[in-house]
Chain A
Amino acid sequence: MQFDSINAFFNMGGYGFYVWLSYGSSALFLISLILLSRINNQNVIKKIAQRQKREKKLRLAAKQQNISNTTISPEEKS
């Protein structure tokens, strides 16, 4: 340990402001980058899932319409 006390550690030989500014801003930048990257990943997965759900619904609706069409058509013929 290079410092005698916790105060000396924070003081950094008079350069405390500059040293902690550097370490603090770097930590802030890196943590936000990591968080944003992960949020972005989750958002892309969610978006794809939503689209898939919508497509499934549309397919189901189309199928039901087809079934009702085929049941109607023989009646129409007669």
Chain B
Amino acid sequence: MWKWLHPYAKPEITYHFTGKILPWFAYLSAILLSVGIVWALAFAPADYQQGDSFRIFYLHVPAASLSMGIYVGMAIAALCSLVWQLKLADASASAMAPVGAVFTAIALITGAAWGKPMWGTWWIWDARLTSELILLFLYLGVIALHNAFEDKSLAGKAAAILTLVGVINIPIIKYSVEWWNTLHQGATVSKLGKPSMTMDMLWPFIICFLGFALLVATIICIRFRTEILARNSMRPWVRELVDKIEG
């Protein structure tokens, strides 16, 4: 049933496949982000309580949910590399970690810049903020482990174990606003059934979110392809490819 997937376990085929889809991700992301950001900044209505500071929402929420989404993706890749010893899964996990770290940092910074005018403070040790900060440290730990050993497969194994242990943090972030009393507001968009937002605020959000998601896909593709080349540098197909590029 899953036979069609088998060829993609071969680095060469995956390298060429990701090379083909990468420009599509990049262009679509550029279009969606330019439309979405302009819409969010200039055309979406201001919030009746928060005024124009609400426009930070269009960066903060996509960055925060993608920071968790990337972690889940990285954890699945880590599991595959530990259980089935898939080398490509390990390469992809290592490609995802820095992207996730940057999106976590963006979520924290935009959150602080939104918290200052709305709550009166840049930072508070509240459940949602603290657990998101722990996510940043988990990402940094995973990146450090990937670079800590000469032997890439040993490094991958150590990083994969840390990744899987850290998965516990994801439901904690997600439900922190329900489990504990916090300053952070609850879910607006992802509420089951109907989001509590008007459509003229929701549409730019959806476009921004898709744009950021495709940007994540683009950057992960670039980094994944770099990892494949670095880890297969002695293979004949890489030698030919490099000879062709460098002349």
Q: Which residues of A contact B (CB under 8 A)?
A: 1-3, 9, 12-15, 18-19, 21-23, 25-26, 29-30, 33-34, 37-38, 40-41, 44-49, 51-52
Q: What are some 19 contacts across the A-B interface (CB < 8 A)?
A: A12-B52, A15-B52, A18-B113, A18-B117, A19-B52, A22-B109, A23-B41, A23-B59, A26-B109, A29-B102, A33-B98, A33-B99, A33-B219, A37-B226, A45-B246, A48-B242, A49-B242, A49-B243, A51-B233
Residue of B nearest to A46 (CB): B246
The residue that A45 contacts in the complex, of B56, B59, B215, B229, with Cβ under 8 A, is: B229
Cβ–Cβ < 8 Å partners of B243 in chain A: 49, 52
Dominant secondary structure at the B interface: helix
Give a binary string over B30-69; 1 marks a CB under 8 Å from any A CB, 0 the rest.
0000000100011111100001110110011001000000
Residues of chain B in range 125-152 having any CB-CB distance to chain A below 8 Å: none
Partner of B53 from A1, A19, A26, A29 at Cβ < 8 Å = A19
Q: Is the CB of A13 within 8 A of B98?
A: no
Question: How near does chain A come to B38, taking the closest CB pair, in angstroms?
Answer: 10
Output the least CB separation between B61 and chain A (Å).
Answer: 12
- In the assembled complex, the Cα of A12 lies from the Cα of B44 at a distance in Å of 12
Write out the residue numbers on chain A whose beta carbons fall within 8 Å of the beta carbon of B53: 12-13, 15, 18-19
| Inter-chain contact total with CB atoms closer than 8 Å | 107
Residue B10 lies at the interface, judged by CB distance under 8 Å to chain A: no
Give bound CA distance, A26 to B62, whole Å: 12
- Given A2-B46, A40-B226, A48-B233, verify A26-B242 contact (CB < 8 Å): no
**Within the complex, what minimum Cβ distance (angstroms) separates B161 from chain A?**
25
Q: Which 6 A-B pairs have the closest CB atoms?
A: A13-B52, A15-B53, A49-B246, A12-B52, A22-B110, A41-B226
